[in-house]
Amino acid sequence: MKALVYHGPGKKSWEDVPDPVIEDPTDAIVKIETTTICGTDLHILKGDVPAVTDGRILGHEGVGVVTEVGPDCTKVKVGDRVIVSCITKCMECDYCKAGLTSHCQTVGGIGWIFGHLIDGTQAEYVRVPFADNGLIPLPEGVTAEQGAMLSDILPTGYEIGVLYGAVKEGDVVAVVGAGPVGLAAIMTAGPAGASKVIAVDGNEYRLEQAKTFGATDTVTVADGVDVAAELKKFSRDGLGVDVAIEAVGVPATFTTALDSIRPGGRVANVGVHGKAVEFPIDRDWINNITITTGLVNATTAPDLLGKIQAGEIDPAKFVTHRFTFAQIDEAYETFSNAAATKALKVIIT
């Protein structure tokens, strides 16, 4: 088959590789119909993720058709059209049972994310371990493009942003960063009950997009703008927002999130920070705040599917560009230059 193979920092190629085979009785093989590119793929390609070895097939999002199942698969069947969850999980260890599938002990204590520790979805076929747990049937009426947004991006914004932030009825929510992950948080915060969702970004085009995803207000980051002070103006009594979701991953935006919340408020950090952030505990201990963060578990895809079917959310909005597998280099170029190309999610079929 053909697959996009990582060959060390900055190097990838669309090349012939052996077809994947069933290795364990709980495996399935999926023929990929639709895949996409995530910011994490760009980090891997840059060499920022040390565990990724030469020869790894990239990609962790996608929808396809099951072509083969191992003898211990009881739910998935050949011919099923499925969403591939970005992370594999045994559902038998204590972490999986507690919903912390990203720390599945059976797969080594940190989830096997496709395109990272196991071969990925930017390929004609992918082997899916623990297939009964990692494959979600694509229901009638939900498109492959919508489904592909449930592999990672939508669960990330929802689980680590909205659910960890405990967004509830009436909350005023700030989302710092309106990239795909921030937009996923924006899209799911309204249905969770937020009365206001304020998008923060320096990119005006992204802020326009944010409004179509459900942002009620926006704050533009620019020199001389005190973003936290601007966010407080949207709060009920000027004391601060109830929840600030950090979806950038730089120390300054963590500080913005922290400075914008009210006493008793919550910061849900989703961004992956390459450096330590500052946390002034001497100032903030008295404010009874909550800070959460973590790696996506991708356990909410079935709930999110229900929201799509009910017409509450429509992740088709993420899709800005479409390519074929033969154009995968162009797809990466387009996605890597998002500021110029206005790309959000690029679809590859």
CB nearer ligand NAD, residue 172 or residue 178: 178
Closest by alpha carbon to 130, among 212, 11, 24? 24
Residues 6+ apart with CB under 8 A from 207: 178, 199, 201, 215, 218, 220
Helix (H, G, I), strand (E, B) or coil at 282: helix
Q: Closer CB to ligand NAD, residue 29 or residue 45? A: 45
Rounded Cα distance, 312 and 307, in Å: 5
206 binds, among Zn ion, ligand NAD, none (CB under 5 to 8 A by kind): ligand NAD
CA atoms within 13 A on the CB side of 181: 23
Tokens of 236: 């009920």
Residue 269 CB, nearest approach to ligand NAD (Å): 8
User: Which one among 1, 2, 33, 39 touches ligand NAD, defined by CB under 6 A?
Assistant: 39
How many other C-beta atoms are found inside a 10 Å radius of the C-beta of residue 272? 15
| 21 part of the interface to ligand NAD, by CB under 6 A | no
What sections of the chain are H helices per DSSP? 39-46, 94-97, 131-134, 144-148, 153-156, 180-189, 204-212, 227-232, 251-260, 281-284, 301-309, 328-336, 338-341
Q: Which of 132, 202, 236, 320 binds ligand NAD (CB under 6 A)?
A: 202
The nearest distance, CB 269 to Zn ion, in angstroms, is 24
* Least distance (Å) between residue 347 CB and ligand NAD: 16
Measured on CA atoms in the order 60, 65, 70, 74, is the torsion positive or negative? positive
Strand partners, 125: 31
> What is the closest distance, in whole angstroms, from the C-beta atom of residue 98 to Zn ion in the complex?
10
Q: How many residues bind ligand NAD (CB under 6 A)?
A: 28
Residues 88-117, interacting with Zn ion (CB under 5 A) = 90, 93, 96, 104, 106
Residue 283, both tokens: 């100032």
Q: Are 212 and 314 in contact (CB under 8 A)?
A: no
C-beta of 3 vs 44, nearer to ligand NAD: 44
Q: Which of ligand NAD, Zn ion, none is residue 147 near (CB under 5 to 8 Å by kind)?
A: none
Site residues for ligand NAD, window 146-175 (CB under 6 A)?
A: 156, 160
Cα separation values, 8 from 19, 56, 314, Å = 22, 9, 36
| Partner that binds at residue 196, options ligand NAD, Zn ion, none, CB closer than 5 to 8 Å by kind | none
SS3 191: coil
Interface of this chain with ligand NAD, residues 257 to 286, rule: CB under 6 A: 270-272
Binds 194, which of ligand NAD, Zn ion, none (CB < 5 to 8 A, cut-off by type)?
Answer: none
From the list 9-17, 195-203, 259-267, 323-331, the region that binds ligand NAD by CB under 6 A is 195-203
49 binds, among Zn ion, ligand NAD, none (CB under 5 to 8 A by kind): none
Nearer to ligand NAD, 17 or 49 (CB): 49
- State which amino acid sits at residue 180: P
Judged by CB under 6 A, does residue 349 bind ligand NAD? Answer: no
- Could you list the residues that contact ligand NAD (CB under 6 A)? 39-40, 156, 160, 176-182, 200-203, 206, 221, 247-250, 252-253, 270-272, 295-296
- Could you list the residues that contact Zn ion (CB under 5 A)? 90, 93, 96, 104, 106
